[in-house]
Chains A and B, each alone.
Chain A
Amino acid sequence: KQEVTQIPAALSVPEGENLVLNCSFTDSAIYNLQWFRQDPGKGLTSLLLIQSSQREQTSGRLNASLDKSSGRSTLYIAASQPGDSATYLCAVRPGNQFYFGTGTSLTVIP
């Protein structure tokens, strides 16, 4: 069964800093990887989807990379803002189901 791990579990940074969140998965046979954001008590908001044939995707201040062979993805957030404070989850899709990572709780301090 696919195991997905995210490091670090929690991260606190001052506003304006660039940061990297990590996601690793055990089985490289995936169709895509999706990064989500979740605010406390809310649903998940999709941030970026990387297809298995792609190396990276960008949306605004966010950049996600995928190295399928090594089972790793990173989410880069540039010039962090207090509004970026949330839990970030990655999920991999080997079939018609998605396996979620353990999440990184991000706090951006004004």
Chain B
Amino acid sequence: DTEVTQTPKHLVMGMTNKKSLKCEQHMGHRAMYWYKQKAKKPPELMFVYSYEKLSINESVPSRFSPECPNSSLLNLHLHALQPEDSALYLCASSRLGTGLGYEQYFGPGTRLTVT
């Protein structure tokens, strides 16, 4: 199974709401990633978790709060977002380490609209 699942597929939220995005993989990958992608742009890395610990935070505003409760799950908690945060949020996973062949697998994404 090489699938990464994300829920929900679509999310509309107001600027005062709190919501969460969920990502799951069962490939035994110990690295998980959140990306943000705006229209016609490449994905921008937000966070990297390695062995369930946050290893990279690309200076993301605190209104985005990641969580990795176990090796298969990755959450992104959203609070007090701005309309410019509207984007496609992609989750990915990969094996860890510097070994060869460690490709990244992506989920289908959550389309987020902030009103």
Chain B residues with CB below 8 A from A42, complex form: 108-109
Size class of the B contact interface (CB-based, 8 Å): 20 to 34
Contact of B104 among A41, A91, A103 (CB under 8 A): A91
Chain A residues with CB below 8 A from B33, complex form: 97-98
Query: Which stretch (B14-22, B41-49, B63-71, B73-81) binds chain A?
Result: B41-49
A75 on the interface (CB 8 Å rule)?
no
Interface residues of A in 62-110 (CB under 8 A from B): 89, 91, 93, 95-98, 100-103, 105
Q: Quick check: B101 and A51 within 8 Å, CB to CB?
A: yes
Interface residues of B in 81-115 (CB under 8 A from A): 88, 90, 92, 96, 98-109, 111
Total A residues in contact with B, Cβ cutoff 8 Å: 26
Q: Quick check: A96 and B50 within 8 Å, CB to CB?
A: yes
Chain B residues with CB below 8 A from A89, complex form: 42-43
Q: Quick check: A43 and B109 within 8 Å, CB to CB?
A: yes
CB B109 to nearest CB in A, in angstroms, measures 5
Q: Quick check: B42 and A43 within 8 Å, CB to CB?
A: no
Contact of A31 among B41, B43, B98 (CB under 8 A): B98
Chain A residues with CB below 8 A from B43, complex form: 44, 89, 100
CB B48 to nearest CB in A, in angstroms, measures 6
Chain B residues with CB below 8 A from A58, complex form: none
B55 on the interface (CB 8 Å rule)?
yes
Chain B residues with CB below 8 A from A43, complex form: 4, 6, 90, 106-109
CB A100 to nearest CB in B, in angstroms, measures 4
Interface residues of A in 12-61 (CB under 8 A from B): 31-32, 34, 36, 41-46, 49, 51-53
Can you give 18 contacting A-B residue pairs, CB < 8 Å? A31-B102, A34-B103, A41-B88, A41-B109, A42-B108, A43-B108, A44-B90, A45-B106, A46-B103, A46-B104, A46-B106, A49-B103, A53-B100, A97-B33, A97-B56, A98-B104, A101-B42, A103-B41
